[in-house]
Amino acid sequence: MDIQFDMTRPLPETQPWSKPFWEGTKQGKLLIQHCRDCNANIFYPRKVCPECWSKNMDWIMAGGKAKVYMFSTAYDMVEPKFMADLPYTLAYVNLEEGIRMMTRIVECDPTDIHIDMEVEVVFHKLNDEFYLPYFRPVKK
Amino acid sequence: MSNSNLAIIGIGEVPTRIMPERTRWDILYDVCMEAIRDSGLDKNDIEAVINVAPQAQPKLAAELSFGKLPEELGLKGCKDTCVCNAGGASTSNCIRLAEQYIASGIAKAVLIPHVTVHSTIPLEEQINFFAKAGVDMQWEYPFGTTYNILMGMMANRYMHETGAKPEHMASVVTALRSWATKDPNSFFYQKKVPTPQMVMESPLLNTPFHKRESNILGDGGSAMVVVSAQDAGRMNKPVAYKLGESVRYFSGTPVLRDFYKVAEGFSVTAREAMAEAGVTKDDISLWNIYMAYPMNHPIMAEALGVAPIGEGAKYFAEGRMSFGGDIPWSTIGDAPGRGHTGSGVSTAMYVETARQIMGKAGERQVKECRYVFQNTAGGSGFNNIATVWGKEI
Ligand SMILES: [Zn+2]
């Protein structure tokens, strides 16, 4: 069987209002959308505040510290374009700013990863335009 | 007192297999004709067709959306047709829309069919569809998500919360397959039921998820005919009445779906659906649970109060949900037992609910099956729809 798989690394499909987030990651900053009217920290970024529909929104810089909420380490059966990365660990992490995001946990042995593990952001370059926020264990 | 006014009066189904030689239309003819014949109605009594949206089959979706089915089958009395799409929750919405057609006088009898043929979809398209469906293209997909990984994360959290052991989790597959081996329409009909040990010895795909816990993509189809409860009552044959329903929306993007809120949503919808039906959990003869993956079954068992909190997986390990156990559960074995037919697994669940209530489930027949609790969910679990069905109103 001669199957041609799409091996292109997928880039985030952005919206106009999420561009500052990705500009931030390029500069090593993890930005969180913030509503000036109701004070909500918002993830993922929206066109209007999902709490109060305000357009009076801003960005705050996250401290970059988080805890693993849940995770799973992949060893097989991912898309061909991600095969070269195996094994890799995907996780939801809770940031100190009260938001939760999907990420990869890197720079450690996958078998050491556990729920509530303390992690910190590290930016992974996809290309000149996009850096993904990954997390690594906080060194004690 | 039920707010619904609907009953399933006829069902049709083909076995789920890998059978590329059968075209989608070939299967549609068979399941629709069988359901209409089973209903006791004439083909020209069918006044509307509401199709379950076929996933990853754009040509068929277009044909059905643009009205081909009533014409193919010569349904001369048909007044309208459409397609309903909410992923795995599509069939629930087809049924709701049928209720509206019936209540508003558009149609007295409505046909609800589904078909999926995976085996003729090119492999790269299949992989790509299942990698992207129900995940966010900006905030999730670029990290390398798969459905298996999302389910693995949930399972890891559940095991962390409850202390459930891997062999307990693996036993869910054993339970589901114990039903599937008795089901002529299952991919695993008459196939050996894997022990929890065999499940755990299969390759680890992503923690804590093994190859034998994943789904086989199959080809299949099913259909049902529904009418008002009053019309069904006059037919002098076993029918399945819809008695209660409740639903909660969680989130479209998996990362925004909180583990506890989902479990709470399972509980609340069950309570509300049973209250509307005027039954309690002790009245339920069969828990026909749709999770698409084995790992969430223990969470649901606990949310329903069928198993004590923290003991859902243990109940499966003890064989209580298996064929012959004391808690009849997912009698087609959910997607892991039936074979995955896209949004068709939940269609098949409704067909099984009706089959059990009608007393036509053969070896899998639940004794004195009076009330069935059934749930569905769409996408990667954006919602949970709970329904209660019964033998009489
Ligand atoms: Zn706000």
Q: Give the Cα separation of B177 and B170 in Å (integer).
A: 11
Q: If interface means Cβ-Cβ distance under 8 Å, which residues of chain B face chain A?
A: 122-124, 127-128, 131, 136-146, 148-150, 152-157, 160, 203-209, 211, 214, 253-256, 259
Question: What's the gap in Å between B78 CA and the centre of ligand 1?
Answer: 49
If one counts the domains in chain B, the total is 1
Which of B156, B209, B253 shows the shortest C-beta gap to A71? B156
**ipTM score here?**
0.97
Say how many C-beta atoms besides its own lie within 10 A of residue A50's C-beta: 14
List, for residues B314-362, the tens digit of each pLDDT value.
Answer: 999 999 999 999 999 999 999 999 999 999 999 999 999 999 999 999 9
Q: What is the pLDDT of residue B126?
A: 83
Instruction: Assess if residue B258 is contained within a domain.
Output: no
Q: Give the Cα separation of B384 and B377 in Å (integer).
A: 5
Q: Which domains does chain A have, with CATH numbers?
A: 17-137 (2.40.50.840)
Instruction: Assess if residue B150 is contained within a domain.
Output: no
Which range marks the domain in which residue B42 is found?
7-122+219-233
What is the pLDDT confidence band of residue B203, given thresholds at 50, 70 and 90? very high
Q: Do A101 and B139 touch (CB under 8 A)?
A: yes
Instruction: Assess if residue B82 is contained within a domain.
Output: yes
Q: Which of A72, A93, A97, A12 is nearest to B142 (CA)?
A: A12
B6 pLDDT higher than 80: yes
Give B267: exposed, middle or buried? Use CB within 10 Å, 0-12, 13-18, 19+. Answer: middle
List, for residues B285-299, the tens digit of each pLDDT value.
Answer: 999 999 989 999 999
Say how many C-beta atoms besides its own lie within 10 A of residue B119's C-beta: 16
Q: What is the pLDDT of residue B338?
A: 97
Residue of B nearest to A15 (CA): B138
Q: In what order do the strands lie in the sheet with A41-42?
A: A41-42, A31-35, A57-61
Instruction: Assess if residue B25 is contained within a domain.
Output: yes
CA B12 to chain centre: 15
Question: What's the gap in Å between A134 CA and the centre of ligand 1?
Answer: 27
Q: Which of B88, B105, B99, B4 is nearest to B50 (CA)?
A: B99
Q: H helices of B249-333, where?
A: 259-277, 297-303, 312-317
Q: What is the pLDDT of residue A2?
A: 63
List, for residues B89-135, the tens digit of each pLDDT value.
Answer: 999 999 999 999 999 999 999 999 999 999 999 888 888 888 888 88
Q: Do B144 and A88 touch (CB under 8 A)?
A: yes
The residue among A77, A99, A111, A129 with the most chain B CBs within 10 A of its CB, best to mutate, is: A77
Q: Domain of B59: which CATH number?
A: 3.40.47.10
